[in-house]
Chain A
Amino acid sequence: MAKKRHSPLPGFGLTLGFALFYLSVIVLIPLGALALRTSSLGWQEFWRLATTDRAIASYRLTFGASFIAAGINALFGTLLAWVLTRYEFPGRRLLDALVDFPFALPTAVAGLTLADLFEPNGWLGTWLVPLGIHGSYTRLGVILALTFTGLPFVVRTIQPVLENLERELEEAAATLGAGRARTFLTVVAPLMLPSLLTGFALSFGRAIGEYGSVVFISGNLPYKTEIAPYLIVMRLEEYNYGGAMVLAVVLLSISFVLLALINWLERWASRFQR
């Protein structure tokens, strides 16, 4: 910890100064403007705009669908991370690369192609719609889109943890007579849990703010398939700036709480791994 306070390298003032200036202009001042303008509304008006029926319906869908999508991702993300780190099979590298695909694909393209797949005459819709599973223009569609965009978060958070897991622990458990299922549940699962929770929270956080992939598939029906970010856009188009700002502040606050939670989870996890 005895690092020298004064590094002999030049450029501290210039680089920090520029970084702070740029950060302020691009991020801090615009976000500050949102806070300032919203605070001028006053509490009563804020509460009224934040709790309109339509807003509450949109929160319900946004948080509910995000939660379910993050849950699906936690399940399949764990499966994928496990298969990718533990097994050798033909096509493993391709599968590994494919996991990043939702990160790389622009959300509008993701929304467009998912909407098309689940339409009654789409590749998946042809099979699913006769079974009564309607993917497009429904809440299920919202969940599908959010699952797609959030998947890499869980896989990429769990994968390094599984890679660094000491196999000796499992072998010790096996030597002591534990079956494979019991070893997994009592030895591996607890070690994976912090990263699984972090991945869940990251996926959930991404889903709350997600817009592009959802608007194509959901149909955006007020009270039914309208997510909160879409309602912000609607308010803006009505020139209802107050309504838009209030919803934005609600979304932002929840994102920040999640961010704090993720930071805390990561610190908790790193204490485990030492």
Chain B
Amino acid sequence: MAGAPTRKRMARAEKSQRGSEESPLIKWTLILLAVLFCGIFLLLPLVNVFAQAFSKGVEHYWSALKHPESLAAIRLTLLVAVISVPLNVIFGLAAAWAIAKFEFPGKPLLLTLIDLPFSVSPIVAGLIFILLFGMQGYFGEWLIDRNIFIVFALPGIVLATVFITFPFVARELIPLMQAQGSDQEQAALTLGASGWQTFWYVTLPSVKWGLLYGVILCNSRAMGEFGAVSVVSGHIAGKTDTMPLRIEKLYNEYQGAAAFAVASLLALLALLTLFLKAYLEWKQQRNEGS
């Protein structure tokens, strides 16, 4: 892929006698600046995570991860993601089906509302659930009377995470399904397929890469969310501390290496996310090409 356009561009550059290309000096200065900036500002923080995590040796690294409170945090983070991501997938599929396949008034408003959580500060996202379900919240007394715990417990953490990751899947699916139209679904229905069959065998396979892309972004954010979860969690060690909260606690207790050990797992998750994202984009490009 890289060979052909480069040759064409070089030929063009020669023809226009560097008219639309910068001089090599400027070009390489700009490249050097960009590489330096990314190296110092993006790569160095990443390398630092692993360097600090192992700064007290591999032994210390493993013992930091095997600490019961760290293990509990890892378990809770996974549990929250396992609950929140499917919820947002179901919502994303439903919203994309309604928006892409049908015409109805108020559609632009609905699209704006779906994007809304992106522009809400994580802290505000946590606060609104405290106002609803906290001790002084609208449903606070009702919930206490019935011994139901939402805030400072798993349901609150899930709610805050779902709010923060709300748009990810829907945003990937809506444009994709809009672009594909509904001709194939109509053909399937004409041939006697039921609504669910059409969805399972026609719609879902055609959007599977976009869906996977949305799931990956949603999951990455769900596992890494800090602000919103921090407000609703109550920070009960071993119970309501997710991995990011555990990192903060270790950092505040001056256990830097241990904090970085837990952080290194999340950094690995970020790298995996980036890798899968690049892979899916490459796959999508190849599909468009063929």
Contacts and interface: CB of A to CB of B under 8 A. Distances in A.
B49 A107 contact: no
Contacts of A174: 16, 19-20
Contacts of B87: 22
Contacts of B12: 167
Contact of B43 (A98, A112, A211): A98
Q: How large is the interface on B (under 10, 10 to 19, 20 to 34, 35 or more residues)?
A: 35 or more
Contact of A106 (B37, B52, B137, B266): B266
Nearest to B27: A87
A263 B223 CA distance: 29
Contacts of A148: 41-42, 45
Interface in B95-123: 95, 97-99, 101-104, 110, 112-117, 119-123
A11 B226 contact: no
Of B104, B112, B131, which is in contact with the most chain A CB atoms at under 10 Å from its CB? B131
B266 to A, nearest CB: 5
A31 interface: yes
Contacts of B116: 27, 31
B4 interface: no
Interface string B195-213: 1001100000000000000
B244 A109 contact: yes
Interface stretch (B64-72, B141-149, B255-263): B255-263
A109 B271 CA distance: 13
Contact of B94 (A15, A110, A216): A15
Interface string A65-109: 000000000001001101110011101000101111110111111
A100 B274 contact: yes
A208 interface: yes
B191 interface: no
Contact of A28 (B40, B49, B113): B113
B223 A112 contact: no
Nearest to B21: A180
B37 A76 contact: yes
A19 B94 contact: yes
A259 B97 CA distance: 25
Interface stretch (A41-49, A190-198, A248-256): A248-256
A113 B41 CA distance: 11
A138 interface: no
Contacts of A173: 20
B43 to A, nearest CB: 6
A209 to B, nearest CB: 3
B113 A232 contact: no
A37 B122 contact: no
A31 B87 CA distance: 20
| Ranked 9 nearest A-B pairs via Cβ | A106-B224, A209-B121, A174-B19, A212-B226, A211-B227, A108-B244, A10-B195, A30-B128, A16-B98
Given A19-B99, A101-B42, A123-B48, 17 more contacts: A7-B101, A11-B195, A12-B98, A15-B97, A18-B91, A23-B114, A26-B162, A26-B163, A107-B224, A112-B259, A113-B52, A116-B48, A147-B41, A171-B19, A209-B120, A209-B124, A248-B128
14 contacts: A9-B198, A11-B98, A23-B95, A23-B114, A30-B128, A30-B131, A87-B27, A88-B9, A106-B266, A117-B45, A174-B19, A212-B122, A229-B122, A229-B124
